[in-house]
Chain A
């Protein structure tokens, strides 16, 4: 689960990391009031940042500076409601604009191959780290945290010196260790600070000093661990979650919407991906990834059917079940029940093999379902059904348009 920058910063602060002050505003008015406070505290400029869970906010015009509270209000009214990669901006972060001396990159991520937390740092901050990694891999410093002890002081020091942060050693070590601590405290997959920056801060009396701070923050949480962090589940942004995604999550289904016309219902993630791949190979476009999981019963099947049919683009459904823990007859009963209740009838091709497949076949035959025996055959039939549905729809429209008034 991705969380907003402002929420990520809250978690970093809770772990003792240095993050410049900020406020979240939902209206231009709130943005002006927040900016007013920062100007009163001595800021000469504030930054207004769109809070959306997609990259490239800056390029899309979602990050802007303002020189007065009134300008902050104007800028916020521009950004609020803006569409960034299909997502409407509903919140902005307002904070004092940093006087940056130098930018760095620092992140902690789970390294699957090493089965450890990997810390990555670079003196080239504020840019896409993937680009740095591809062009100048030597500019990235890495170290693996110990699997049980976490990041050790000497590892953090080595990292800091290699990144050119020797002048801010104490802060750099604390931040590096803090990233690993943050990962472990909240079960994050990724904690990324880009940029980590040396900034010049001016006190009320005009004296200046340099400080190493986390200017931006990105945190991705492990979905499997949310159950033990009830507070973090609340950070899920309802504005950015599709209603179908929510219904699927609440029904215990794994659902990912795609752009095609053939709805897929499968048990098991690998087989669900394969079913999508075979639909595509047969000349169709999958409308979704949907894994009903192991041991799914009739009610789960009915929920899955509702979610698939809620997508108006779906004009055919492919059900592919390889029974192991899942019993084929349970799925067949669920399908029969779901079809009796559904408001929209679309052609459906069902393939059920494995545990209790014979009973499933008998039930489906009685209920006059279109069935298939092999996976390739099922995909081909579903694609044909989708094409037929589309040509009927097109013919219907053409007929209406051509008929005399």
Chain B
């Protein structure tokens, strides 16, 4: 097992005929992910990825014909919240929204609808997830991974690649790596992923990669202090040098009114017994110091 995705994943790609959608679908298929369908309104009946994947007009059609249970969304920002709601309404259990630049208030009703039907949304503005050896959904380069038992959760994209590469180089393989997204309103939080990792028999240790803005790292640390004392963990927080009041690229990465600082996150994690690395390259050593033998 792993979390969110694995051998049981039957993926539908929303926006499969677009430039990004097609490029990353090829990479996902090459990694071994089972892509069962694509959706592009108006292109139903066509076939994508050199004729290997059927394209449908709607997600409901794709689910009915293929039993898709997971979706990956590459739809532009103006249509992405609707694509999320379409997937949830069609009964997709796990929805990854890669799209960047969605107006934050558009996600408020979308997240509510996803919650009300019992689906799970990861993102938006996220790189997706990889369960090394079985499936990859999103845009994380497959080559950086190594199979193993460390769960990785992050708000970032390329910073996650950096950390995962450092782990793999040090011989620490991963059970699942998840990017939860850098936007203010996201479907799945650090806390949600920690709970999934805690319940996963194939995850023995956890890496958390946070950044300035919001209080999700503090919330996750408080839960870990109570429930994950026996699990080796290490963390990294980006933005120690970020000035107040400036949005650091991610819409959600902003310190305002003295809240959301790196200091606050580092001290919350350390209070929970989780050591925080000064550089992503130190994560493997910290995890071993925390008792991980893998």
Contacts and interface: CB of A to CB of B under 8 A. Distances in A.
Interface of A: 110, 112-113, 115-117, 130, 147-148, 183-184, 187, 189, 222-225, 228, 254, 256, 258, 266-274, 276-281, 286, 289, 291, 294, 322-325, 353-355, 374-376
27 contacts: A112-B215, A113-B219, A117-B105, A147-B109, A148-B112, A187-B104, A187-B105, A224-B103, A225-B104, A269-B248, A269-B249, A269-B253, A270-B158, A270-B160, A272-B248, A273-B211, A273-B241, A273-B249, A274-B162, A274-B280, A277-B238, A281-B279, A289-B246, A294-B100, A324-B141, A324-B161, A374-B281
B238 A324 contact: no
A222 B104 contact: yes
B209 interface: yes
The secondary-structure label for the interface of chain B is loop
B214 A270 contact: no
B185 A270 contact: no
B242 A270 contact: no
A286 B158 contact: no
A270 B102 contact: no
Nearest to A187: B103
Interface of B: 20, 77-78, 100-109, 111-112, 127, 139-141, 144, 154-162, 165, 182, 184-185, 209, 211-212, 214-216, 219, 236, 238-243, 246-253, 257-258, 278-281
A13 to B, nearest CB: 21
B240 A277 contact: yes
A376 B111 contact: no
Contacts of A148: 109, 112
A147 B241 contact: no
B281 A376 contact: yes
Nearest to A134: B258
A240 to B, nearest CB: 13
Nearest to A2: B245
A187 B106 CA distance: 9
The 5 closest A-B pairs by CB, nearest first: A269-B249, A270-B156, A268-B158, A270-B159, A225-B103
Contacts of B279: 274, 278, 281, 375-376
B146 to A, nearest CB: 16
A238 B103 CA distance: 23
A222 B158 contact: no
A110 B159 CA distance: 26
Given A256-B243, A324-B158, A376-B281, A273 B184 contact: no
Contacts of B144: 354
B258 A274 contact: no
A326 to B, nearest CB: 8
B156 A189 contact: no
A183 B144 CA distance: 42
A274 to B, nearest CB: 5
Given A269-B156, A376-B281, A113 B216 contact: yes
A112 B108 contact: no
Contacts of A325: 20, 139
A322 B105 contact: no
A219 to B, nearest CB: 14
B257 to A, nearest CB: 5
A224 to B, nearest CB: 5
B157 A270 contact: yes
Given A277-B240, A376-B281, A184 B246 contact: no
A276 B184 contact: no
Contact of A274 (B78, B127, B238, B243): B238
A222 B103 contact: yes
Contact of A354 (B141, B155, B253): B141
A148 B107 CA distance: 11
Given A289-B248, A291-B249, A268 B105 contact: no
B241 A276 contact: yes
Nearest to B251: A224
Given A187-B103, A270-B158, A277-B239, 9 more contacts: A113-B219, A148-B109, A222-B105, A225-B104, A266-B158, A268-B157, A270-B249, A375-B162, A375-B281
Nearest to A189: B104
B127 to A, nearest CB: 7
B252 A112 contact: yes
A322 B161 contact: yes
Given A269-B182, A354-B141, A130 B257 contact: yes
A382 to B, nearest CB: 14
Contact of B159 (A183, A184, A271, A279): A271
Nearest to B159: A270
Contacts of B280: 274, 375
B152 to A, nearest CB: 13
A41 B212 CA distance: 50
Contacts of A273: 159, 211-212, 238-239, 241-242, 248-249, 253
Contacts of B158: 266-268, 270-271, 322, 324
A184 to B, nearest CB: 6
Contacts of B216: 112-113
A324 to B, nearest CB: 5
A239 B253 CA distance: 26
Contacts of B101: 224
A116 B160 contact: no
A113 B192 CA distance: 12
Nearest to B127: A324
A183 B258 CA distance: 23
Nearest to A260: B241
A77 B182 CA distance: 45
Nearest to B77: A224
Contacts of A376: 279, 281
Contacts of A270: 154-160, 182, 209, 211, 238, 249-250, 253
A289 B238 CA distance: 12
A182 to B, nearest CB: 12
Nearest to B259: A130
Nearest to A190: B256
A153 B127 CA distance: 40
Residue among B161, B214, B241, B242 with max Cβ neighbours from chain A (10 Å): B241
